[in-house]
Structure 1
Amino acid sequence: MSGPAQGKATEIASKAQLIEFMESGCKPKTDWRIGTEHEKFGFNLETLEPLPYEGPSGIKAMLEGLQRFGWEPQMEGDNVIALTMRGYSVSLEPGGQLELSGEALENLHQTCSEVHTHLAQVREVGDEIGVGFLGLGFSPKWTREETPIMPKGRYGIMREYMPKRGQHGLDMMFRSCTVQVNLDFGSEADMIKKFRTSLALQPIATALFANSPFTEGKPNGHLSHRSYIWTDTDPDRTGMLPFVFEDGFSFEQYVDYALDVPMYFVYRDGRYIDASGQSFRDFMEGRLPALPGERPNLVDWDNHLTTLFPEVRMKRFLEMRGADGGPWRRLCALPALWVGLLYDDAALDAAWDLVKNWTAEERQKLREDVVTTALQTEVPGGRTIQDLSKEVLEIASAGLKARKRLDSFGEDEVHFLNALKNTVESGKTPADELLECYHGKWNGNIDPIFKEYAY
């Protein structure tokens, strides 16, 4: 989850400015980059409890310890709530999850190096203060009441508003973790094709990365419980966005969608002002109840866009949002999957051919079914996601090979897909493997997960 956007506070005079803002993300292919984000659960190594903000083994101590590596603290009042370096950040999620929002990098070798460096830094500081970190899609043990609340203003506003819109918004905030990748587009037409292809295929990523089968120490009946909770979080700002597949979809149509999503807040002078449920359209007319007479600027718009949570989100790039958090090799595999599918023209054409005839009802059913049956979910045409994933990974492999981005040993990016290929060949998701451990060698005790699956 993002912090407040920064930048020039240009006042918005018309909807055309919002469309131009989105269009400004268009870049030539030579400038396309890869931005990877991943969240993880911190826990006390001795007690296996979640991390409070304060204290010698708390999140604040973690953020202070990481500053030795050159990170600069970002404050909200007296609290450090994020770290920044060269335009990327380590940020604090509502329940103490720690997120790396990485640099915009040229290739997957750099991405995986970034992940490795970050986790090594986290491990060094964590070992000193008695803290470990775990990559899963959903908190495996702690109740919502046991999960500490972090001192960030926007989370207080969201905490009050979420239960008004769905059953699982607070679980999303406090007990879930994801890995996502942010990718560029070259034009409106390129954006549309990438948006449609990635949105239709997002349930395939959910299946391949399914890694959240436990709630409060017991199996929850899902393979991706994280994905399940998004189905009843807030219908205004989540889902599969059927309008993206309609004739005439454009930057303008996405702007109209975003304008109709109720606001959470306005950020002014270091403070979050509660505007939950209010209209950005009213804000543009100077009729926002939270700030009567004041009009928004482009930073306000950028902030508003971060409060939309569909399976693929557009800002001035596209965010792939369908995957559970997981072990570090899968943190490299997620960007590899989407870069392979979307950054090569032939691969994008082939991926679109797989899904272009699916109906909105078929896409929605796939989204709903995948949380429980993952690789065994039936896709349109009678095959399973496991069958389709073989084709998807072949296309992604060809796309990565065509990029010819080599490391210092002359190796291309294709090997970053190996973890996913193993999943498809075995037919076992990470969640399936966890459940085997739980029912087998762990004897129904969730605690070994904190040792065997920690970073």
Structure 2
Amino acid sequence: MSLDLKRVASEPLTSTAPLVEELRKGEKPRAQHRLGLEHEKFVYPVGSAQPPTYEGPNGIGALLERIAPGGYERFRETPQSPVIALQRGMAAISLEPGGQFELSGSPFRTAREAHQENLQHLKETKAAASDLGLRLVALGYRPVGTPGPGGVEMPWMPKTRYQVMRRTLPERGRLALNMMLMTSTGQVSLDWADEADCVRKTVAVARLSPLLVALYANSPLVEGKPSGYMSFRSRVWEEVDPTRCGYLPSWFDGSFSYKAYVDWALDAPLLFLRREGEYRHPKLTFRQLMQEGYEGKPPDMGDWTDHLSTLFPEVRLKKVLEVRGADCASAAMTGALGALWRGILYDAQALEEAELLLPRLTFTEHLAFHDTARREGLAGKLGPRELNRLAGEMVAIAKRGLLRLDPEDAPLLAPLEAVAASGRSPAQAVLDAWKEDPRPEVLMSRFEL
């Protein structure tokens, strides 16, 4: 979530050393480690499968205004611009390009605190939505509709950043607009202590991410038909931009470091550059921008911060470590997401066990593993081993970690234990419901939050 706050000029960037140092600034003592949830969801009118526009008495803008009196500060890009986000304390409600409604939660010590914040957000938002004849839907990809040529068949939110990305990102990948308009996800952000801790956690999450994809796969339908994928949302990312999405080879060959992440990011093309209140689109990678400058001037740290926010790897580093592999799911499953990664990453023994759960795969082998997970979900296999059993072991590792770390968080894992034990990704329930009644508005009601 990026609110595109006003750029503040800083010292020119003339070497990569400050970029590495910027990651180092994210380090926190272990006693201060926190986690935060992000939960996107779709908004639809009751009885309809056509998403609302921003404008109008029952639009997304009206929904924001209905929620705002609950102690929120309205966010506008300019004093004359429409409201595109709400902030209350350290939590924010923001909009994805197609009107997906997102809570970017506060950092908490425990997963249950993050879960309770999300439950309160859902309570407030559902009440406001009901007043407007709207409902919230938990799916990872819109089951009907298309982005259309130029993305004209879906609503677009009035955020300048999105209008620029609407022009620039499709140059990089065939499904870029699908990502922007048609997908919805759940994410968790976590902390690290030092570079070695960051490397270890990032690599562990990357290696386990296909199991996360399978556990949370919840997007099997595309344009009213089974897509052949349990998580089509995950499939979409393959054709957004290979230079800024997916997995880093350094996560699998032992070479990952702060500098490796910076080097990877430097070679991704700019999606935009903010200058004098405008969004520019120089055809440069960030590395080329540092070498050549733009309009006679080198970039600064504000440009780098903007650039990092336009990168979408499975594990993203900014001032926190973002885990990005889950489809949007129910509130309980989203609460479990925080508990899962707290249990694995914040307990030393659990992290050791998680590192030993899977065989050491090459980069190419891991990509094949990821493809199996998004296609087959928990029914797939890694070699002779069923993914549902591996996912169950991953959840068990997290539970043991929480029982040592903070037993009160452990019950949040119950939904994941049930999913893994069933051997059925959430997407299978979507397919069953669609087979029973293929009316889109009925499906929306079945998966209403």
State the TM-score bracket (shorter-chain normalisation): over 0.9
Q: Structure 2: which amino acid aligns with 1:124?
A: A
Q: Structure 1: which amino acid aligns with 2:39?
A: H
Does the residue aligned with 1:68 lie in a helix, a strand or coil? coil
Number of the residue aligned with 1:256? 263
Q: Is the 8 A contact 2:202 2:315 kept in 1?
A: yes
Number of the residue aligned with 2:60? 59
Distance, in Å, in 1 between the alignment partners of 2:7 and 2:293 is 24
Q: Structure 1: which amino acid aligns with 2:49?
A: L
Q: Is the 8 A contact 1:167 1:232 kept in 2?
A: yes
Change (3 A) 1:6 1:109: farther
Q: Is the 8 A contact 2:377 2:424 kept in 1?
A: no
**Gap runs ≥5 in structure 1:** 406-411
Q: Structure 1: which amino acid aligns with 2:430?
A: L
Distance, in Å, in 2 between the alignment partners of 1:115 and 1:428 is 25
Does the residue aligned with 1:421 lie in a helix, a strand or coil? helix
Q: Structure 1: which amino acid aligns with 2:10?
A: T
Q: Structure 1: which amino acid aligns with 2:434?
A: Y
Q: How does 1:84-99 map to 2 (within 5 A)?
A: 84-99=87-102
Q: How far does the alpha carbon of each residue in 1:159-182 deviate from its partner, in whole angstroms, 9 at most, with x for none?
A: 122222222111000000000001
Q: What is the CA distance between 1:306 and its match in structure 2?
A: 1.0
- Is the counterpart of residue 337 in structure 1 residue 327 in structure 2? no
Given candidates 360, 363, 370, the residue that maps to 1:360 is: 363
Distance, in Å, in 2 between the alignment partners of 1:315 and 1:208 is 25
Number of the residue aligned with 2:212? 205
Q: How far does the alpha carbon of each residue in 1:51-93 deviate from its partner, in whole angstroms, 9 at most, with x for none?
A: 1010001111111111111111111242111111223311111
Q: Structure 1: which amino acid aligns with 2:403?
A: K
Q: What is the CA distance between 1:283 and its match in structure 2?
A: 2.9
Number of the residue aligned with 1:450? 444
Distance, in Å, in 2 between the alignment partners of 1:5 and 1:393 is 38
Does the residue aligned with 2:424 lie in a helix, a strand or coil? coil
Q: What is the CA distance between 1:231 and its match in structure 2?
A: 1.3
Q: How far does the alpha carbon of each residue in 1:121-169 deviate from its partner, in whole angstroms, 9 at most, with x for none?
A: 1111111111111111001122224311111111122112222222211
**Gap runs ≥5 in structure 2:** none
Q: How far does the alpha carbon of each residue in 1:202-257 deviate from its partner, in whole angstroms, 9 at most, with x for none?
A: 01000000100112222222110101111111111111211123334211111111
Q: How far does the alpha carbon of each residue in 1:285-328 deviate from its partner, in whole angstroms, 9 at most, with x for none?
A: 4622xxx1233222221111111111111112211111100111
Number of the residue aligned with 2:126? 123
Q: Structure 1: which amino acid aligns with 2:100?
A: Q
Distance, in Å, in 1 between the alignment partners of 2:25 and 2:136 is 37
- Is the counterpart of residue 244 in structure 1 residue 245 in structure 2? no
Number of the residue aligned with 2:223? 216
Deviating more after overlay: 53-62 vs 7-16: 7-16
- Is the counterpart of residue 423 in structure 1 residue 423 in structure 2? no
Q: Is the 8 A contact 1:219 1:435 kept in 2?
A: yes
Number of the residue aligned with 2:196? 189
**Normalization by structure 2: what TM-score?**
0.94
Given candidates 261, 276, 289, the residue that maps to 1:283 is: 289
Q: Is the 8 A contact 2:336 2:415 kept in 1?
A: yes
Number of the residue aligned with 1:69? 70
Q: Is the 8 A contact 2:252 2:361 kept in 1?
A: no
Distance, in Å, in 2 between the alignment partners of 1:86 and 1:268 is 29
Does the residue aligned with 1:38 lie in a helix, a strand or coil? strand
Q: Structure 2: which amino acid aligns with 1:281?
A: R
Given candidates 101, 104, 112, the residue that maps to 2:104 is: 101
Distance, in Å, in 1 between the alignment partners of 2:252 and 2:244 is 17
Change (3 A) 1:285 1:272: same
Deviating more after overlay: 362-371 vs 114-123: 362-371
Q: Structure 2: which amino acid aligns with 1:400?
A: L
Number of the residue aligned with 2:391? 389
Does the residue aligned with 1:63 lie in a helix, a strand or coil? helix
- Is the counterpart of residue 31 in structure 1 residue 32 in structure 2? yes
Q: Structure 2: which amino acid aligns with 1:340?
A: G
Distance, in Å, in 1 between the alignment partners of 2:166 and 2:56 is 24
Aligned residues: 442
Q: What is the CA distance between 1:270 and its match in structure 2?
A: 4.8
Q: Is the 8 A contact 1:168 1:232 kept in 2?
A: yes
Q: Is the 8 A contact 1:91 1:99 kept in 2?
A: yes
- Is the counterpart of residue 138 in structure 1 residue 141 in structure 2? yes
Distance, in Å, in 2 between the alignment partners of 1:46 and 1:248 is 52
Distance, in Å, in 1 between the alignment partners of 2:255 and 2:219 is 37
Number of the residue aligned with 1:171? 178
Q: Is the 8 A contact 2:293 2:299 kept in 1?
A: no
Distance, in Å, in 2 between the alignment partners of 1:221 and 1:244 is 28
Change (3 A) 1:6 1:135: farther
- Is the counterpart of residue 151 in structure 1 residue 158 in structure 2? yes
- Is the counterpart of residue 160 in structure 1 residue 167 in structure 2? yes
Number of the residue aligned with 1:400? 402
Percent of aligned pairs sharing the same letter: 38
Distance, in Å, in 2 between the alignment partners of 1:297 and 1:29 is 31
Distance, in Å, in 2 between the alignment partners of 1:434 and 1:255 is 39
Does the residue aligned with 2:94 lie in a helix, a strand or coil? strand
Distance, in Å, in 1 between the alignment partners of 2:299 and 2:351 is 37
Distance, in Å, in 2 between the alignment partners of 1:286 and 1:88 is 38
Q: How far does the alpha carbon of each residue in 1:400-445 deviate from its partner, in whole angstroms, 9 at most, with x for none?
A: 111126xxxxxx11111111111111111111011112223x2x32
Number of the residue aligned with 1:3? 3
Distance, in Å, in 2 between the alignment partners of 1:260 and 1:213 is 33
Distance, in Å, in 1 between the alignment partners of 2:95 and 2:252 is 34
Q: Is the 8 A contact 2:253 2:362 kept in 1?
A: no
Q: Structure 2: which amino acid aligns with 1:262?
A: P
